[in-house]
């Protein structure tokens, strides 16, 4: 490991299948990166060991003095203590794991943990689609629907670290959700739901991307599925804008890859319900792709270093 050179910050995204590590300079420009499989079934220790291996690989070939590490991980996390609080079924022995402490012990530098959707939003605000914005709702339309809130220029975490989770509030129909609830936005706007809703209508099994392509090619069922997703997203934006007076929404995740299809399907119902503030909400597609989470995690680490 070369400890000489300019200061660098590491950002790590521990996802259900892939762990991604980026090494950034102080301007959050990526100077090196590595990715590998997440051993999600082997427990927290193995997951951290896998992330440390990837970090060792990039540090061995890229000079720089590591000053801090940030991690974004799925689930509910305690961002202050750096523990995972609640993890999905796809992770073994992850809930309760002291992620930040384990990294701090292994690397000897400050380490921080954020929920992955919170990290996504931090990333897009630090160096992506919403640079400099002060009041933002972030949404990720991936396997599930995630949400995060940025208010007054800082992440709003709430009483239990779950603020902004607009994907799991009822009022979006009556379909059963993966979380056990009913009528959540996730039942309309996640990749899994787009696939399922299209399958129910047609008996055909397509991926969310293929449903989007079918919609653009004139398939009425595919278009209806995306229209329901767009209307649901618009409703979520209207509610959040009314409650929090956000100025901007950033939307990422796989389903947002069909932006030319999705954008008008959100904007139309959104225009029909203007916020009481009189200021229309700005709708932006995410700009950083898969880098948003690790860069947001690195941005958190950089922020903590400068405010200590
Ligand atoms: Zn739900």
pLDDT reported for residue 116: 95
Going from the Cα of 76 to the center of ligand 1, the distance in angstroms, rounded, reads 14
DSSP-derived letter for residue 286 is -
Place 76 in a pLDDT band, splitting at 50, 70 and 90. Answer: confident
- CA 235 – ligand 1 centroid, Å: 16
pLDDT(4) > 80: no
Please give the distance, rounded to the nearest whole angstrom, from the Cα atom of residue 188 to the centre of ligand 1.
11
pLDDT digits (tens, 9 = 90+) for 207-239: 999 999 999 999 999 999 999 999 999 999 999
User: In percent, how much of the chain has pLDDT > 70?
Assistant: 99
The pLDDT score that the predictor gives to residue 131 is 97
Q: Is the pLDDT of residue 2 over 70?
A: no
pTM: 0.95
CA of 64 to the centre of ligand 1 (A): 43
pLDDT digits (tens, 9 = 90+) for 8-45: 999 999 998 999 999 999 999 999 999 999 999 999 99
CA 170 to ligand 1 centroid distance, Å: 8
Between the CA of 226 and the centroid of ligand 1 the distance, in Å, is 19
Helix (H, G, I), strand (E, B) or coil at 148: strand
Question: What does the DSSP assignment read for 71-89?
Answer: EEESSEEETTTTEEEE--T
CB environment 104-125: b (16+ within 10 A), e (fewer):
bebbebbbbbbbbbbbbbbbbb
The alpha carbon of 197 and the centre of ligand 1 are apart by a number of angstroms equal to: 16
Tokens of 109: 């530098």
Q: What is the DSSP letter of 98?
A: B
- Per-residue pLDDT, 5: 84
Residue with tokens 């931090």: 122
Å from CA of 271 to ligand 1 middle: 26
Q: Please give the Cα distance from 139 to 5 (Å, whole number).
A: 37
Angle between helices 220-244 and 259-271 (to 10 degrees): 50
**1 CA to middle of ligand 1, Å?**
44
- Ligand 1 center to residue 39 CA distance, Å? 26
Distance 145 CA to ligand 1 centre (A): 9
What is the 289 CA–ligand 1 centroid distance (Å)?
24
More confident residue, 30 or 308: 30
Per-residue model confidence (pLDDT) at position 19: 97
CA of 184 to the centre of ligand 1 (A): 5
Distance CA 155, CA 133 (A): 12
CA 169 to ligand 1 center in whole angstroms: 7
Mean pLDDT of the chain: 95
Q: How far is the CA of 23 from the centre of ligand 1 (A)?
A: 34
Residue 162: predicted pLDDT: 85
Rounded distance from Cα 239 to ligand 1 centre (Å): 17
Checking if the pLDDT of 7 tops 80, the result is yes
Output the CA 87–ligand 1 centroid distance in Å: 15
pLDDT category at 275 given cuts 50, 70, 90 is: confident
| pLDDT tens track for 142-180 | 989 999 999 999 999 888 888 999 999 999 999 999 989
Cα 12 to middle of ligand 1, angstroms = 26
């Amino acid at each position: 490991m070369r400890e000489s050179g300019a200061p660098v910050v590491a950002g790590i995204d521990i996802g259900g299948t892939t762990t991604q590590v980026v090494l950034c300079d102080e301007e959050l420009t990526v100077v090196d990166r590595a990715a590998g499989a997440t051993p999600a079934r082997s427990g927290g220790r193995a997951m951290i060991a896998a992330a440390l291996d990837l970090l060792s690989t990039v540090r061995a070939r890229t000079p720089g003095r590591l000053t801090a590490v940030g991690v974004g991980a799925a689930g509910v996390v305690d961002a202050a203590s750096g523990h995972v609080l609640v993890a999905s079924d796809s992770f073994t022995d992850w809930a309760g794991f002291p992620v930040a402490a384990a990294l701090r012990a292994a690397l000897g530098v400050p380490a921080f943990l954020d929920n992955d959707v919170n990290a996504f939003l931090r990333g897009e605000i630090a160096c992506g689609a919403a640079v400099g914005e002060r009041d933002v709702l972030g949404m990720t339309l991936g396997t599930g629907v995630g949400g995060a809130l940025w208010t007054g220029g800082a992440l709003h975490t709430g009483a239990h670290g779950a603020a902004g989770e607009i994907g799991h509030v009822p009022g979006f129909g009556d379909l059963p959700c993966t979380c056990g609830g009913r009528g959540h936005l996730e039942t309309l706007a996640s990749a899994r739901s787009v696939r399922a809703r299209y399958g129910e209508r047609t008996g055909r099994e397509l991926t969310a991307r293929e449903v989007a392509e079918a919609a653009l090619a004139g398939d009425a069922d595919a278009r209806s599925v995306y229209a329901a997703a767009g209307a649901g997203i618009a409703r979520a934006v209207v509610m959040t804008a009314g409650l929090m007076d956000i100025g901007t929404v950033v939307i990422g995740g796989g389903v947002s890859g069909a932006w030319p299809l999705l954008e008008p399907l959100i904007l139309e119902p959104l225009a029909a319900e203007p916020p009481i503030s009189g200021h229309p909400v700005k709708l932006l597609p995410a700009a950083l792709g898969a880098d948003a989470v690790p860069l947001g995690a690195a941005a958190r680490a950089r922020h903590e270093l400068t405010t200590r």
